[in-house]
Amino acid sequence: MLEIKTKTFQEFTTEELYKILQLRSEVFVLEQDCVYQDIDNKDQSALHIIGTKNGEIVAYTRIFAPGLYFKDASIGRVVVKQSERKYGYGKVVMEASIKAVKTHFNQIKIHISAQEYLIKFYTSLGFKQVGEGYLEDNIPHVGMVKDS
């Protein structure tokens, strides 16, 4: 069972921040073989959705109010520990993130920058592709929007 917590950057313990950055690096830098600047000075203005299992952080997203990342509210840095993906935690953490956008920002329109291979996953959550694909950090992405 995945336990979901929502925290601001200021509410993190040092250990939580370390584990989140470790998970993001493990997946986005090592697993996806992509050298990029993950620590981008945006974490401080995001709300963080943290999924823990037996006290270990295994799923995570960060969400932004409208105008902080995109014109609309947004969800990013969606990540699930590789060994935990078979349990559907990606869907759990995304549903919690969508709910948090509504609760904390009173918004239903959400913009994401999705890795192309995950279009079907995000479509199952109500997102629709907008515009053409593009490369972000040498990985094919598409813009997607959910507005209900």
pTM of the model: 0.96
Q: 3-106 is classed in which CATH architecture? A: 3-Layer(aba) Sandwich (3.40)
d(CA 75, CA 111): 7
Domain residue ranges in the chain? 3-106
Query: Which are the contacts of 51, defined by CB distance < 8 A and separation ≥ 6?
Result: 2, 3, 4, 57, 58, 59, 60, 80, 89, 92, 93, 96
**What one-character-per-residue DSSP string does 72-129 give?**
SEEEEEEEE-GGGGGGTHHHHHHHHHHHHHHHHH----EEEEEEGGGHHHHHHTT-EE
- Bridge partner list, 135: 140
* 148 residues of the chain, pLDDT tens digit each: 899 999 999 999 999 999 999 999 999 999 998 888 999 999 999 999 999 999 999 999 999 999 999 999 999 999 999 999 999 999 999 999 999 999 999 999 999 999 999 999 999 999 999 999 999 999 999 999 999 8
